[in-house]
Chains A and B, each alone.
Chain A
């Protein structure tokens, strides 16, 4: 699309003249490939998974990016997880392990 001065821009169709976004998943971007470690839950050790009913959820309450679901079993959304490791640190049963990203 051409701008007022006849130059091609490419982003004019977005319909804004400044930066704006709406509250939605991924608004601030996905984590990308810079994460060093990612969390893996062992459902044989995780309390809610083992008992088969809602309980504990300490990792859910501590996750600063709110990427852990409050479900049985828990699901971590690795699309947005930054790999900070707080969940693994806080898990009272040691059910969450941080695993190195495969860089190969």
Chain B
């Protein structure tokens, strides 16, 4: 009798084909979200529809609060988070802009709400298509911002976002390009529910609104510290805002640790940024979101033509990992950087370009940095557009330092 070799059955990973919107909804379900409030807006609507389906069929034990606007949606989230629930919402473009005032409230109250943002252009003129002007315009509200390159990153980043947000007590936006990711099907490995539950510690609110213990959260706070009725010296506005800044700075390390821990548990490690073919690069394309995936194709083509170019995709945008990005570029030893992004700070240049230049200046990294604007209002960013931008910056490599400055350029503008 021949001995049959024992076949060790390995559980196959649960891979599904899904859009980034469905990945976002699935991640919220896996994260054990207890309250969802969102108002539908293209291209975010499928996130809302899917979550309603989950709540309706009982596969998600959450309260779905329907509202009449995005302003109310985020307000419900703020209230629910303040009574101790894990909360999720999603919005984009003008809907996100309508939330703006409450975004400051959420951050100032230090509520770890997580919001999915399938990036869409800001009107006017009306556009439902993709760029990143919507979330970039909310940069200074005090929320953390993570940008994703593909649907798997959307799934994984939303799960990680709860761990990060609830550690530093800062709300977090997980941003992904509308349509390009939100409506595009890709294979996504769906993590095991129990493993996600184990990965996310219970949400421990810093303050719980409870009728048994009445309190006023966010009373009028004066400029200077003041004693409360019990004689305890309480923060002025300035101190509270400093604590938010401090939490943001700490979030860099928390995001890094969370990405490493996620890698150990689920086999997909995450960092603050990601590099591709950067080892010997003279020029590095620095990007945000799905351009990062596309730039890898452009770099493959350019490498075949002899250009030594790499890609650095920024994942954590707020807090801005200035030291880490600067040291990464210093270590690569590149001489130039081309920042490719789908947003513009009108009157200057791309927001990422400005932030990166400030970091390179602060940490004294001797490279030039060029700003390229592309893809606003859904203008197709072709791989050849990325190639064009990178070749343009490549031509500056051998120029004297004084001539390496280049004005911001809008790629594929047909004026």
To the question of whether A and B form a pair in one complex, the answer is yes
User: A-side interface residues toward B, CB under 8 Å?
Assistant: 3-5, 9-11, 13-29
Measured CB to CB, the nearest residue on chain A to B219 is A21
User: B-side interface residues toward A, CB under 8 Å?
Assistant: 108-110, 169, 206-207, 214-221, 225-226, 228-230, 232-237, 239-240, 242-243, 246-247, 249-250
A19→B237 CA distance, assembly (Å): 8
Shortest 4 CB-CB contacts between residues of A and residues of B? A24-B229, A19-B221, A26-B229, A11-B235
Which of A5, A22, A28 lies in contact with B246, CB distance below 8 A?
A: A5
A42→B250 CA distance, assembly (Å): 62
Number of A-B contacts (CB under 8 A): 85
A14→B236 CA distance, assembly (Å): 11
Q: A22-B215, A24-B229, A27-B228 are in contact. Are A16 and B236 (CB under 8 A)?
A: no
**In the assembled complex, how far is the CB of residue B79 from the closest CB belonging to chain A, in whole angstroms?**
15
Which of A13, A14, A20 lies in contact with B216, CB distance below 8 A?
A: A20
- On whether the beta carbons of A11 and B228 are closer than 8 Å, the reply is no
- On whether the beta carbons of A14 and B219 are closer than 8 Å, the reply is no
- On whether the beta carbons of B217 and A19 are closer than 8 Å, the reply is yes
Q: A21-B215, A21-B228, A22-B215 are in contact. Are A16 and B234 (CB under 8 A)?
A: yes
**In the assembled complex, how far is the CB of residue A32 from the closest CB belonging to chain B, in whole angstroms?**
11
- On whether the beta carbons of A23 and B215 are closer than 8 Å, the reply is yes
- On whether the beta carbons of B218 and A18 are closer than 8 Å, the reply is yes
Measured CB to CB, the nearest residue on chain A to B218 is A19
In the complex, 29 of the A-B residue pairs with CB atoms within 8 angstroms, ordered by the A residue number, are A10-B233, A11-B233, A11-B239, A13-B232, A13-B233, A14-B232, A14-B234, A16-B234, A17-B206, A17-B247, A18-B206, A18-B217, A18-B218, A18-B240, A18-B243, A19-B217, A19-B219, A19-B234, A20-B207, A20-B215, A20-B217, A20-B218, A20-B219, A21-B228, A22-B216, A24-B230, A27-B219, A27-B228, A28-B219
Which of B214, B225, B240 lies in contact with A17, CB distance below 8 A?
A: B240
A19→B108 CA distance, assembly (Å): 9
